[in-house]
Amino acid sequence: MAEKQLGDNPVNENTSSQTVDQARLVIAVENTAEAILITDIEGNIQYVNPAFEKISGYSRAEAVTQNITFLNSSQHDPSFFEQIWDCLKRGEVWQGRFINKKKDKSLFESEATISPVKNTAGEIINYVSVQRDATHEVQLEKQLRQAQKMEAIGTLAGGIAHDFNNLLLGIQGNISLSLQDLGPESPLFNNLKKIEQYVHNGVELTRQLLGFARGGKYEVRPTDLNRLLNEQNLLFSRANKAVVFKDDFDANLWNVEADQGQIEQVILNIYMNAIQAMPAGGTLTVRTENLTIDEERLTPYRVKAGDYIKITVADTGIGMDKKTQGRIFDPFFTTREMGRGKGLGLASVYGIIKNHEGFINVDSQKDRGAQFEIYLPASRKPVPAQQITVEEFSHGHETVLLVDDEEMIVDVGKRMLDKLGYETLTAMNGAEAIEIYKSRRKDIKLVILDMVMPKISGGETFDRLKQINPAIKVILCSGYSIDGQATEILKRGCKTFIQKPFNLKTLSQHIRAVLANND
């Protein structure tokens, strides 16, 4: 069949000499950005415009005389196309999206309007399809839905982690006190140490929950990612001899403001994912680079345009199909066998990067490895010198006011403070704390204040205590992380933050550090 041009008989049976309007129509159709196809009533293609050639990769000569089904991607059930044909044969216009296959076998998503063309007798003689390549738009929609889903889950996860951390503090506090009373020679000492280890495991679980909770950062400071990645590479290469680690670090990489512990958790989870994908060994390539990204590229991620650093982690493992890629960041989704892994690893990766105002992409094909791309906002702030942690207990004798609405926390917290030698006053809410402070202001040297309390919040309580004494020393305490509301309270003059659950040693060190500071 010879190639049909726009304006040939099948489209218009009453062909006459081409008018000026028809010529304009031909020019418009040939130059429009949307792909236009004209078929006969059996779906055999009679015309395609240049936009179709550009989108599909097929030339006009290759497409014309082919049945429209040659674009079928096999991504739809046959009933999907039956419904389209039923609609068109009734003389109705069909609108919707479907997935087509390009000449190079790659897929693209079309947003199409297909209209019947009728002759003067009202008979359908052709179909005209106007299609727009919506692949990028669909991808943006998927990413936006993922972001919204993770934000909702994050809100729930943060509340669960907070309550669980309060419970763990009750357990950890009693363990710390018991260990101090018993000593290593007691037959119960080792049992308590094992329970303490289980508490630490619980803390790691809540840390992962807070990792994808909204506002889940702990201690944020300028961080040298090249140094962090180099340390992780050395650690993993020693433990995984079958995997070859290759790095390509930008020597002039910008710093980022990050919670170093959480970024280490991100790298740990991605490396573990890669190593599990290479059971017989392989190559893990890690690259860093500086990038400046515009707003258009960042639209689906809801982050700001500007300077970013990019970490690329690529493995030569078994890869993932598209279905798996679509779920890897879902909480509790895992490809590992039952009982081996909590399914939180890559979900927490997503949340941690999101909470650092960055974003993450993954690209993978079955049997062709996987590549993770992490983007984090760059910072020009210098990396501070590393601090040395003091390990010994620090006792005291000052008067401390402990404020928490959980009876369990007040009970164990008071006994921990008493054990350290402090005179302890307690309050179960903000109003009570304010009244006690008013009456004992001269005696109270420190307030340990829970951030989340009913009626009068920790933030409001702090502000009202500060009105009474602008030089007041307060340690903010919470089962949530330091990010968000806690950070704002710290900026208003609160001295430091202690994350629940904490042990006796950690509590003692925080108290002495604040009391020794004369600022």
pLDDT (0 to 100) of residue 130: 93
Distance (Å, rounded) from C-alpha 428 to C-alpha 476?
A: 15
Query: Which residue bears the tokens 């997935």?
Result: 99
Contact by Cβ (8 Å): 232, 271: yes
One-letter identity of residue 450:
D
238 or 214: which leads in pLDDT: 238
> What pLDDT, on a 0 to 100 scale, did the predictor assign at position 4?
45
DSSP assignment of 203-230 equals HHHHHHHHHSSTT---SEEEE-HHHHHH
**Which of 39-53, 341-355, 442-456 has the lowest average pLDDT?**
341-355
Identify the pLDDT of residue 148.
Answer: 67
Cα–Cα distances (Å) from 326 to 145, 266, 317, in that order, read 11, 19, 18
CA–CA distance, 341 with 335 (Å, rounded to integer): 9
- pLDDT-derived band at 343, boundaries 50, 70, 90: very low
Distance of CA 3 to the CA centre of its chain: 51
Q: d(Cα 456, Cα 404) in Å, to the nearest integer?
A: 11
Confidence of residue 242 (pLDDT cuts 50, 70, 90): confident
Contacts of 485 (CB under 8 A, 6+ apart): 215, 451, 459
**Cα angle 417, 422, 425; round to 5:** 75
For CATH 3.30.565.10, the residue range(s) in the chain are 220-384
The pLDDT tens digits of the residues spanning 73-128 come to 888 888 889 999 999 999 999 999 988 889 988 888 889 999 999 998 889 999 99
Give the pLDDT of residue 376: 93
The mean pLDDT value for 127-151 works out to 78
- What are the structure tokens assigned to 311, written together? 């970490």
Q: Which residues contact 450 (CB under 8 A, 6 or more apart)?
A: 403, 404, 405, 406, 409, 458, 477, 478
Quote the pLDDT of residue 93: 94
**pLDDT class for 315, splitting at 50, 70, 90?**
very high
Residue with the bigger pLDDT between 342 and 498: it is 498
Please provide residue 133's backbone torsions phi and psi, each rounded to the nearest 5 degrees: -70, 110
* Long-range interactions of 185-188: CB distance < 8 A, separation 24+: none
Q: Where in the chain is the domain with CATH 3.40.50.2300?
A: 399-516
> Which residue has tokens 């990050």?
258
pLDDT at 58: 92
Say if residue 51's pLDDT is above 80.
Answer: yes
**For residue 452, what is the DSSP state?**
-
Task: Say how far residue 440 (Cα) sits from the centre of its chain.
Answer: 46
The class of domain 20-133 in CATH terms is: alpha beta
Res 460: pLDDT: 92
Would you say residue 374 has pLDDT above 90? Answer: yes
Every domain of the chain with CATH number 3.30.450.20 lies at: 20-133
DSSP letter for each residue of 324-389? HHTTTTSTT--SSPTTS--S-HHHHHHHHHHHTT-EEEEEE-TTS-EEEEEEEEEE-SPPPPPPPP
Rg over alpha carbons for the chain, rounded to the nearest Å, is: 32
Strand partners of residue 479: none
Among the ranges given (226-240, 329-343, 353-367, 440-454), the one the predictor scored with the smallest mean pLDDT: 329-343
Burial (0-12, 13-18, 19+ Cβ within 10 Å), 269 = buried
Are the CB atoms for 342 and 332 separated by under 8 Å?
yes
User: 177: pLDDT confidence band, cut at 50, 70 and 90?
Assistant: confident
Residue range 283-299: average pLDDT?
Answer: 83
Bridge partners of residue 286, in order along the sequence? 247, 313
Among 61-75, 130-144, 377-391, name the most confident range: 61-75
Say if residue 2's pLDDT is above 70: no
**pLDDT exceeds cutoff 90 at 290:** yes
- Mean pLDDT for 47-67 is 91
Phi, psi torsion values for 35, nearest 5 degrees: -75, 135
Q: Give the pLDDT score at 90.
A: 92
CATH number, domain 399-516: 3.40.50.2300
Q: Is 128 within 8 Å of 117 (Cβ atoms)?
A: yes
What is the per-residue pLDDT for 155?
Answer: 66
pLDDT tens digits, one per residue of 470-508: 999 999 888 776 655 777 788 888 878 888 888 888 899
Residue 208 pLDDT level (bands cut at 50, 70, 90): low
Top mean pLDDT of 128-137, 141-150, 338-347 is at: 128-137
CATH number of the structural domain 220-384: 3.30.565.10
Residue 340: which pLDDT band, with cuts at 50, 70 and 90? Answer: very low
Average pLDDT value for the chain: 82
Q: How confident is the model over 325-339, as pLDDT tens digits?
A: 666 776 544 554 433
Q: Write out pLDDT tens, residues 380-400.
A: 888 776 554 545 677 889 999
| Share of residues in the chain with pLDDT > 90 (%) | 33
Q: Are 99 and 79 in contact (CB under 8 A)?
A: no
The one-letter code for the residue type at 483 is D
pLDDT at residue 116, as a whole number: 93
Dihedrals phi, psi of 361, to nearest 5 degrees: -120, 155
Q: Which of 225, 214, 386, 417 is nearest to 309 (CA)?
A: 225
pTM greater than 0.85: no
Burial of 90 (0-12, 13-18, 19+ CB in 10 A): exposed
Residue 356 has pLDDT above 50, yes or no: yes
pLDDT in tens, 397-454: 999 999 999 899 999 999 999 999 999 999 999 999 999 999 999 999 999 999 888 8
Instruction: Give the pLDDT confidence score for residue 467 in this predicted structure.
Output: 93
Average pLDDT over residues 252-281: 88
Name which residue leads in pLDDT, 467 or 366.
Answer: 467
Question: Would you say the C-alpha torsion 410, 412, 413, 414 has a positive or negative sign?
Answer: positive
